[in-house]
Structures are given as structure tokens and as C-alpha cells.
Amino acid sequence: MSIEIRSVSKKFSAFNALSDVSLTVPSGELVALLGPSGSGKTTLLRIIAGLESPDQGSILFDGEEATNRQVRERQVGFVFQHYALFRHMTVFDNVAFGLNVRPRKFRPSKADIQEKVHGLLKLVQLDNLAGRYPAQLSGGQRQRVALARALAVEPQVLLLDEPFGALDAKVRLELRRWLRRLHDEIHVTSVFVTHDQDEALEVADRVVVMNAGRIEQVGTPEEVYDRPANPFVYNFLGNVNLFHGRVDKGEARIGGIAIDMPELGEADAGPAVAYVRPYDIEINRQRHSPEEIEARIRFIQGAGAVARLELERLDSLELIEAEMTRERYKELALAEGETVFLRPRNMRVFAGDYII
């Protein structure tokens, strides 16, 4: 089932949780709502579920108006951040709940429910724990029970609120890969909320980057990572270095480097900020061109596949982060305190004095 959100706004007293948000989630896609806390991503998810109602705008399921449809008629599966398992019910009863509360006419027979629940518990690899209570399960197990419970009612849409937020790093990693595989198997339209960029980039078909109640960018993980639409997205997705400069006459000057920006007209003279990923900072021991920036190495973290360096510009004393492969690091044989020459590649310039 496809979901369409049409200019939805929501206020909580004076706080604008969502301002005029529009988004389309095509059927069968796995979409991540990514943003910092307070960006409105959970509110948007709850509005899709019907747990909150929008002040303005509408929600359409498969092109049909659903804004005022009752929560229980929306056929959505919702996985809560803190699982919200029924604490007084066993794992089996938790998963069976959605089937047991159906009106008698639509309720499957006891045997069918048995079969269905055990099938789902097998799917989430918890069939041997059907008789346990939530309190007796680990965080990862509870999360999978919550997922099985949501899937039991055969939802048209699966909504997950920070599904791995409360888990430790290793379980998180396992579970999100598992969620991706599960989605590839059952292909239910899914939306999940996260503040973890790695999670969004790894799991989702498309990433919706949100900030302060608005959508900043929608795109595939590659699109949002490689071609961020604006400084916020650049900053939010991964580490980044800032270089301040000016734009004038269709050209940006960042330090000694000139970059053509034909998209900017004559009128756009003013400050500009260039963004460079740490791995796009090239480090040399000798100066090759006058454009290169002189910097001193303050700190090196050489363990692991990627070496991370913290450098200080000699001219402005600003800090710069750089990353290089292990081989390059060994080849250069850098040491803390040395002076080196930096050359930023793939600069992305945004006009205006954007301050984080």
C-alpha cells in the first residue's frame, strides 16, 4: 500500500512539530525518516499510524483519503521504541493479540491462530520462547516479539519508531540487517524513524532527512550522502569540514582555491561555506601548488582500516579532520606535530553564511 502525505502540519501548543510536510512512500518500499530529536520524524510516523491527528493536511493510503480513519481501521503495524509489549501476557499471547481481538466473524479459528503465531515466531527466530513473559527476554528478543506482533495482523503498512534505539551496538547491527532481509522477503511498505545515519543509509531504500519539522531532502542513501541538498544534510550525514570563503561573479573563493559556480548569478555576491568530507582531504608532505593549506598534525588515531587525523591550520588555527586508508598512512609515515599540506577534493559550496 502506498502512503501519501499532503502538506501536513502539527503543533504541540507553541511548538511546530511539523510544518507543511509532503511525502510519498511508494508501495513496497522501506523508507527511513532520519533527523535529530525534535525534528518531527516520530510525530509524522504517529500521524501516519493515526495515533496523532494532523492540524492541517491529509494522509492518503493507496490514493484513498485516510486522514480521519480510525487507528484500528488503518491496518498498520506499529513497532514502538520501547516495544510496548503486554507485560502480563506471554510471547505467544502478545503475538496473537491482534487476531484474538477481532470480531468473531473475522477471527481465525484457534488452530489457525496457533499456526500463524508459531509461523511468525519462527520468522523472528523465537519459536522456543513462546511461553516466556516479556520481562524474561533480552532487548533484542523483545524487539523481535514486537515485530512479530505487528506482522500478525498482516498490516498494509509497517511503521517502526526508533526500532533499534534501545539496543546495544552489536545487537543493533544484527537486527537492522535482519530487518532489511525480512523486508526483502515480505515486501510490506515500511517506514522507520531513526536518528542514526548509518542505520538509515544501510537499511532503507530511500532516506527522508528531516529537521525542525520540515523535510530537507528525500533520496536514495547514495543521493543524500553524495549529493546533499543543503548544509544541514551535509552536516547531519557524516563528519564534515567547513571552509569559509566568498562567492562573487559566479565563482567561489575558498582560501586560495577558486571554484566555478555558474548556477550563482552576478547578484549573489556574499559569504560562502564549502563542505569537505574527511576522506576528501588529501595530505602531502611537500607543497605541490600554492592552493594547498598548511596544517600541523595534532592527533593521529592509526588503529583500524582507516587512519583518522586531526589537523590545525597554521593560518586560521581552525581544526580539520582527515581520513586516509591504512596503506596511505603507512606510506606517508606521518607523526603528530609534523607540518603537512592539505588539498581538499570534492568541495561542495553553499552560498550564504550558514552556521551550525
Residues that bind other proteins (CB under 8 A): 49-51, 71-72, 74, 76-78, 80, 82, 84-88, 97-98, 101-102, 149-150, 152-153
CB of 171 to other proteins, least distance (A): 21
- CB nearer to other proteins: pick between 87 and 330: 87
- CB nearer to other proteins: pick between 150 and 247: 150
- CB nearer to other proteins: pick between 130 and 293: 130
- CB nearer to other proteins: pick between 15 and 86: 86
C-alpha cell at 32: 527511513
Closest CA to 218 of 233, 199, 197: 233
CB of 80 to other proteins, least distance (A): 5
- CB nearer to other proteins: pick between 13 and 109: 13
- CB nearer to other proteins: pick between 78 and 234: 78
The total number of residues shown for the chain amounts to: 356
Single-letter amino acid, residue 219: G
Question: b/e for 311-332, b at 16 or more Cβ within 10 A?
Answer: bebeeeeeebbbbbeeeebeee
Whole-angstrom distance, CA of residue 209 vs CA of residue 236: 9
CB of 21 to other proteins, least distance (A): 21
C-alpha cell at 166: 534501545
CB of 12 to other proteins, least distance (A): 10
C-alpha cell at 137: 527476554
CB of 203 to other proteins, least distance (A): 22
Q: Could you tell me if 52 and 10 are in contact, meaning their C-beta atoms sit under 8 angstroms apart?
A: yes
CB of 54 to other proteins, least distance (A): 17
CA atoms within 13 A on the CB side of 210: 33
Q: Could you tell me if 237 and 209 are in contact, meaning their C-beta atoms sit under 8 angstroms apart?
A: yes
Q: State the DSSP H helix or E strand holding residue 257, giving kind and residue range, or none if neither.
A: strand 257-260
Residues 6+ apart with CB under 8 A from 326: 304, 305, 306, 307
CB of 19 to other proteins, least distance (A): 22
Whole-angstrom distance, CA of residue 74 vs CA of residue 201: 28
- CB nearer to other proteins: pick between 51 and 351: 51
C-alpha cell at 49: 499510524
